[in-house]
Amino acid sequence: EPEVTQTPSHQVTQMGQEVILRCVPISNHLYFYWYRQILGQKVEFLVSFYNNEISEKSEIFDDQFSVERPDGSNFTLKIRSTKLEDSAMYFCASSEGQGGREQYFGPGTRLTVT
Amino acid sequence: RKEVEQDPGPFNVPEGATVAFNCTYSNSASQSFFWYRQDCRKEPKLLMSVYSSGNEDGRFTAQLNRASQYISLLIRDSKLSDSATYLCVVNDLTGRRALTFGSGTRLQVQP
């Protein structure tokens, strides 16, 4: 069964550093997403991406964040200057085209900012 | 008011029991509804979509009541492996794809 993959599984970084989280969505999916979950809290939407551009973003997704699809398979989330409060689990998800709204999540990257 | 509200639990039930979870959502324009399960420190896994007519998948039955803005999940014949957090998830507006998650209801099935 096809699945979303993410690397790394755990990233530790110092405050102020840049991090790039990587995802490979399911191959025939057209919509890609990033969500985050702070420990003990609910899953929160960050951004969605379709046709090589951002289609929606939340208020969390400020100028520190950016997304990119650098090639035909990878989808990345960059945090330019990490803060302590960016520590969270970051999940990538993907969904099919217009009809399918079900989103399938990758295993996540645990980001720890020290 | 919370957008998607769930009883956090925990629900502690014996194996073989039937358990029901409820969820309410605040936005009457919500279009799509889902139940996901999440194991500790893992990703949300899609359990089932929820349709207006209600739907069943094996031991799991989901119901939607648009008038009351209420979604339910029934699990019959609970297994130890059903122990997880069950997330009620809503897609709010036509054309938007962002999912809004509830905080989840924790289920612990005991032998």
Do A103 and B96 lie within an 8 Å CB cutoff? Answer: no
Burial of A50 (0-12, 13-18, 19+ CB in 10 A): middle
Do B102 and A103 lie within an 8 Å CB cutoff? Answer: no
Do B103 and A42 lie within an 8 Å CB cutoff? Answer: yes
| Pairwise CA distance, residues B1 & A104, whole Å | 28
Do A45 and B103 lie within an 8 Å CB cutoff? Answer: no
Number of inter-chain CB pairs under 8 A, A vs B: 50
**Encoding tokens for residue A7?**
């690397």
> What is the pLDDT, as a whole number, of residue B54?
87
> What is the pLDDT, as a whole number, of residue B97?
85
Query: pLDDT tens digits, residue range A40-97?
Result: 999 999 999 999 999 999 999 999 999 999 888 899 999 999 999 999 999 999 999 7
Where chain B has pLDDT below 70, the residues are 1-2, 93
CA nearest A89 in B: which residue? B41
Do A33 and B97 lie within an 8 Å CB cutoff? Answer: yes
> What is the pLDDT, as a whole number, of residue B25?
94
> What is the pLDDT, as a whole number, of residue A98?
64
Closest Cβ opposite residue A45 in set B34, B99, B104: B99
**Encoding tokens for residue B85?**
């957090």
Handedness of CA B1, B40, A37, B101 (dihedral sign): negative
> What is the pLDDT, as a whole number, of residue A1?
78
CA nearest B98 in A: which residue? A45
Q: How many CB atoms lie within 10 A of CB B62?
A: 22
Q: Are A101 and A85 in contact (CB under 8 A)?
A: no
| Pairwise CA distance, residues A108 & A38, whole Å | 12
Contacts of A33 in chain B (CB under 8 A): 97-99
| Pairwise CA distance, residues A9 & B12, whole Å | 31
pLDDT at A23 over 80: yes
Closest Cβ opposite residue A106 in set B32, B43, B101: B43
User: Checking DSSP bridges between strand B44-50 and strand B99-101, what pairing results, if any?
Assistant: unpaired
- Using alpha carbons, list the distances in angstroms from residue A42 to A1, B1, B60, B102: 27, 15, 23, 7
Closest CA to A18 of A58, A65, A60: A65
Closest Cβ opposite residue B96 in set A56, A91, A106: A56
Q: Are A110 and A89 in contact (CB under 8 A)?
A: yes
